[in-house]
Amino acid sequence: MFQLATLKNLIPMIVLIIGVLPASPAEAVEPTPDKQVDVDGGVAPQLLQIDKMIAEVWDAYQINPSKPATDSEWCRRVYLDVVGRIPTADEASSFAADNSNTKKQKLIETLLYDDLYTEEFARNWTTVWTNLLIGRTGGTENRSMINREGMQKFLRDSFARNKPYDKFVHQLISATGTTAPGGEDFNGATNFLIDKVNEENASLATAATTKIFLGLQVQCTQCHNHPFNDWKQQKYWEMNAFFRQARAIGQGMQSGMGNVATLTDRDFAGENGNSPDEAEVYYEMRNGLVAVAYPVFVDGTEIDRSGYVSQTNRRTALADLTVKSPYFAKSIVNRMWAHFLGYGFTSPADDLGPHNVPTHPALLDYLGQEFQSNEHDLRQLISWIVLSKPYGLSSRQNKSNVSDDPLLGEPPKFSHFYLRQMQAEQLYESLMATTAGVQRSGSYAEQERVKNEWLQQFNTAFGTDEGGEATSFNGTIPQVLMMFNGDMIKSATSVAQGGLIDTIVRAPMSNAQKVETLFWKGLGRKPKAAELSLAKTLINTNGGNFAEGLRDMWWVILNTNEFIFIH
């Protein structure tokens, strides 16, 4: 599992010491002047607008924003949020040493567009979207038709090529073909709906599609009118009608391929079976009366009622309508904002219903429109968010913005960065990055298998008709037990030959520099004087054994709140 360090891996460390370590001890405290310029010298209008509209709310509440985050903090945040791991010691220290005032711009452009990072970028967003579309437990249960590998292949490809978001979603909604890579007609996108269309008259498909891509939670209205707004049951069933041609056909497990299934569309003759030209859906209202529904989009747009696929492919029609909806653009903006800032403009971030008023409605609308007119380019959206002022603020609160804390039940004002814990996948990738360099052994599939095995220990599926799952990687005792005593941590802190500790001990640098290396690796910053003393103490309690002392220091670093929190 862990790549043995070779001479190759020693070189970056030597380069680090010779050329790249910053000389100034004050580095850790002074942030770069906050000026985001693009390479042509102008500032992107979207950045100006974000900063302006966020600041308006600060003024309205009379709070002052926190000061900017330090370079180390900002750099660590960006790596975790964009490529899903902490920066290596090399990456962190070279960012810190860079004195240009366009370094933030340069870093984000590198992570988004440089070939060196394409694979990691794609892997990170594949993880995020796999969890969203099929869940952490999707495809792991016996009766499932989902082929996880197939899903991830589609996602990886989409993110590596920066496929426009509207095309991406259109494919997911209207996909036909088979689920497993290697099969004929393979279309990884089919894995989104494959487990959601057969049961319960496609209720899962209806709920998931509207929630994930439109930010509209219609599942309550399956049985009764919405409790908080004036959506009626009719609306749910009209959306549900779009899925009635879809059919999933399972072909079981096949060797070398995993779950194989086919997603297809068949002629629908209406629920009574004999009206294919006006193919209707029935539902029962609370008062016992039966009502009828035809496909109508959330904004009231009706489509042809024919159930013949050759006449009207309902899922394709739904996909066409979805990607043009203003909810479409707003919901992805909200979701991405929540990914980077910890909270969206609504709570929850995937509920844009009329009862849920956004904290910054004009900004959400503006960004939605900008996203739409910039070809639904996700990387562009990421750069607007990452280079914005709110994303660059420190998580240290001041007297005036202590009250700005969603954990206290307040809607967020983004006047300081909000602490949040890493996800299990980010922890895994971060540990991989520290111990094995960024290159890993084994094929991609093999690496994923090992990783998924480790991740499964945290996940449980609820096994109800709503899907639903829970993770125990949420800051509780089992997680801490794993960080204290788990095999992966034991491995990471081992003094065995060729491992991280051994490599550092044998490097040609001073003991102080060796301790420093651990801090750059784990926390992306220089150690403080008190922390160097701490390391000395740990070495002493190990009877002067330097390697064992470093081992304890590394264990401590990995177990701190500073390590596990994105701050």
**Shortest gap between Cβ of 495 and other proteins (angstroms)?**
12
The DSSP code for 312 is: -
Q: Per CB under 8 A, does 348 bind other proteins?
A: yes
Q: Per CB under 8 A, does 511 bind other proteins?
A: no
**Shortest gap between Cβ of 300 and other proteins (angstroms)?**
25
Q: What are the respective helix, strand and coil percentages of the chain, to the nearest 5?
A: 55, 10, 40
Residue nearer to other proteins on the CB measure, 471 or 513:
471
**Shortest gap between Cβ of 208 and other proteins (angstroms)?**
14
- Maximum distance among all Cα pairs of the chain, rounded to whole angstroms: 85
Site string for other proteins, 417-436 (x = CB under 8 A): -xxxx---------------
Closest of 289, 186, 294 to residue 240, by C-alpha: 294
Choose which of 354, 361, 442, 468 interacts with other proteins (CB under 8 A). Answer: 468
Per-residue burial over 363-375, b if 16 or more Cβ lie within 10 Å, else e, is bbebbbebbbeee
Q: Per CB under 8 A, does 22 bind other proteins?
A: no
Nearest-Å Rg of the Cα atoms of the chain is 26
Q: Name beta bridge partners: 421.
A: 565
Asked whether the beta carbons of 305 and 381 are under 8 A apart, the reply is no
Residue nearer to other proteins on the CB measure, 164 or 467:
467
Asked whether the beta carbons of 297 and 239 are under 8 A apart, the reply is yes
SS3 assignment, position 250: strand
**Shortest gap between Cβ of 557 and other proteins (angstroms)?**
8
* Strand 459-464 with 258-265, pairing: unpaired
Candidates 6-14, 80-88, 257-265, 528-536; binding stretch for other proteins (CB under 8 A)? 528-536
Q: Name beta bridge partners: 247.
A: 264
Rounded-to-integer distance, Cα 160 and Cα 350, Å? 25
Residue nearer to other proteins on the CB measure, 180 or 515:
515
Please report, as residue ranges, which positions from 64 to 83 form the binding site for other proteins (by CB under 8 A).
none
Neighbouring residues of 9: CB distance < 8 A, sequence distance ≥ 6: 437, 503
Rounded-to-integer distance, Cα 55 and Cα 61, Å? 10
Q: Per CB under 8 A, does 534 bind other proteins?
A: yes
The packing angle between helices 89-97 and 7-15, to 10°, is 20
Return the structure tokens found at 388: 């914005």
Cβ atoms within 10 Å, residue 87: 25
Q: Per CB under 8 A, does 465 bind other proteins?
A: yes
**Shortest gap between Cβ of 232 and other proteins (angstroms)?**
17
Choose which of 475, 496, 497, 512 interacts with other proteins (CB under 8 A). Answer: 475
Residue nearer to other proteins on the CB measure, 108 or 538:
538
Residue nearer to other proteins on the CB measure, 168 or 337:
337
**Shortest gap between Cβ of 13 and other proteins (angstroms)?**
24
Candidates 160-168, 185-193, 208-216, 549-557; binding stretch for other proteins (CB under 8 A)? 549-557
**Shortest gap between Cβ of 396 and other proteins (angstroms)?**
6
Residue positions counted in the chain? 567
Candidates 152-160, 306-314, 366-374, 559-567; binding stretch for other proteins (CB under 8 A)? 559-567
Candidates 28-36, 154-162, 163-171, 468-476; binding stretch for other proteins (CB under 8 A)? 468-476
Choose which of 347, 380, 447, 511 interacts with other proteins (CB under 8 A). Answer: 347
Choose which of 486, 498, 505, 509 interacts with other proteins (CB under 8 A). Answer: 486
Residue nearer to other proteins on the CB measure, 60 or 407:
407
Candidates 23-31, 57-65, 365-373, 527-535; binding stretch for other proteins (CB under 8 A)? 527-535
- Taking CB atoms within 8 Å and a gap of at least 24, the contacts of 401-409 are 401/63, 401/64, 401/65, 401/66, 403/63, 404/61, 404/63, 406/342, 406/343, 406/347
Q: Per CB under 8 A, does 485 bind other proteins?
A: yes
Rounded-to-integer distance, Cα 227 and Cα 301, Å? 24
Neighbouring residues of 490: CB distance < 8 A, sequence distance ≥ 6: none
Site string for other proteins, 196-235 (x = CB under 8 A): ----x------------------xx--x---x--------
Q: Per CB under 8 A, does 466 bind other proteins?
A: yes
Please report, as residue ranges, which positions from 354 to 413 form the binding site for other proteins (by CB under 8 A).
356, 395-397, 402, 405, 407-411
Rounded-to-integer distance, Cα 513 and Cα 516, Å? 5
Candidates 43-51, 307-315, 320-328, 551-559; binding stretch for other proteins (CB under 8 A)? 551-559
**Side-chain half-sphere CA neighbours of 320 within 13 A:** 11
Q: Residue numbers of the site for other proteins (CB under 8 A)?
A: 200, 219-220, 223, 227, 347-348, 356, 395-397, 402, 405, 407-411, 418-421, 457, 460, 462-466, 468, 470, 472, 474-478, 480-482, 484-486, 490, 530-531, 534, 537-538, 541-542, 552-553, 555-557, 559-562, 564-565, 567
